[in-house]
């Protein structure tokens, strides 16, 4: 979120948190075209499957910076800039088109003592992924910037909560105390050569070669890694495809006009000590996108791998909370 002006940051600081879990109603408008492509048409190297623009009358809804699936029937969890879990179900019609976000609850993320995070400096959750054990989702892993850290939260019926369980990270990462640090956290799936390991990527921490600094957390796969982004863009999220290939979402901004790129890094390149770079699968800008910061992958009932990409509206009326869905060609 380094692009935010001081006034926007001040607006975030006065944001409210619900004291406990609160039910909210989210309305959605379907999006049927993207970059002049109609539904089911190819757009760059992906297939456009549709999307939604979400709004709510509740001022606690927004700032959606990370997304993960936590259970069957598209149970989903977002994390927000104000330190909340936003949980619900992505709703699809008979044609498998996304049309809504239903059954939504918002609950404050808690610290290791089980109390809501005390101040905005500690609340800035930017990324989330699901941790599996024996094939079952057991927790979500959340990355925070400002007070840079990683923590796990137990899942109950697909909804995270309870006290934070700190995940050890390297000292240099914890010493980064800005809003341009840890933007991307993703856990490698069973099909990956580094299955079970967690990849951390920074937005603004740059190494001597001009690449974004990162780290792999794992039993056998542990150590530094870096990522080479597009010109004038930064990584804002990562996710793995089932075969272990890595997706990295990049976001650029110029005079409050946003752009995005989605890159694919081969599974074999995701390893400690490597400088990763990938091919562009999708790029867009202007009115097609917003402040794209969240991403998740799932396999549809027909076997197609789908990518869901979302935007963080920073609780601004002039921005949008988008979810855009694409299929990966076989």
SS3 content of the chain, % helix, strand, coil (to 5): 5, 55, 40
- Find, among 97, 65, 90, 40, the residue nearest to 293 by Cα: 65
67-96 pLDDT per residue, tens: 999 999 999 999 999 999 999 999 999 999
**Model pLDDT for residues 283-296, shown as the tens digit of each residue:** 999 999 999 999 99
The whole-model pTM stands at: 0.94
Note whether 173 and 200 are within 8 A (CB): yes
Query: What's residue 250's pLDDT?
Result: 98
Give CA–CA dist 260/249, Å, rounded.
7
Low-confidence residues in the chain, pLDDT < 50: 2-15
- Domains for the chain: give ranges and CATH numbers: 6-327 (2.120.10)
Other beta carbons within 10 angstroms of residue 39's beta carbon come to 16
């Amino acid at each position: 979120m380094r692009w935010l002006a001081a006034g926007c940051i001040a607006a975030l600081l006065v944001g409210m948190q619900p004291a406990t879990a609160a039910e909210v109603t989210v309305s959605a408008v379907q999006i049927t075209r993207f970059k002049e492509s109609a539904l089911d048409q190819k757009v760059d190297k992906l297939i456009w499957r549709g999307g939604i623009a979400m709004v709510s009358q509740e001022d606690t809804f927004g700032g959606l910076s990370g997304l993960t699936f936590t259970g069957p029937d598209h149970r989903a969890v977002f994390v927000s800039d104000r330190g909340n879990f936003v949980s619900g179900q992505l709703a699809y019609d008979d044609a498998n088109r996304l049309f809504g976000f239903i059954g939504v609850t918002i609950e404050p993320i808690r610290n290791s003592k089980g109390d809501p995070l005390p101040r905005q400096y500690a609340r800035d959750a930017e990324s989330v992924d699901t941790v599996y054990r024996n094939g079952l989702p057991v927790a979500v892993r959340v990355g925070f910037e400002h007070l840079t850290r990683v923590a796990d939260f137990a899942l109950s019926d697909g909804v995270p909560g309870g006290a934070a369980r700190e995940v050890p990270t390297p000292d240099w990462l914890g010493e980064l105390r800005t809003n341009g640090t840890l933007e991307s956290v993703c856990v490698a799936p069973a099909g990956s050569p580094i299955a079970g390991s967690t990849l951390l990527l920074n937005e603004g921490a740059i190494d001597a070669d001009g690449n974004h600094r990162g780290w792999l957390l794992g039993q056998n796969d542990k150590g530094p890694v870096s990522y080479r982004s597009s010109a004038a863009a930064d990584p804002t999220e990562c996710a793995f495809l089932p075969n272990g290939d890595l997706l990295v979402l990049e976001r650029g901004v110029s005079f409050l006009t946003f752009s995005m790129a989605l890159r694919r890094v081969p599974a074999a390149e995701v390893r400690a000590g490597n400088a990763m770079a990938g091919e562009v699968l999708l790029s867009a800008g202007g009115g097609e996108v917003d402040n794209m910061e969240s991403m998740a992958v799932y396999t549809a009932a027909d076997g197609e791998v789908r990518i869901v990409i979302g935007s963080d509206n920073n609780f601004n009326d002039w921005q949008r909370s988008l979810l855009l869905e694409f299929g990966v060609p076989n």
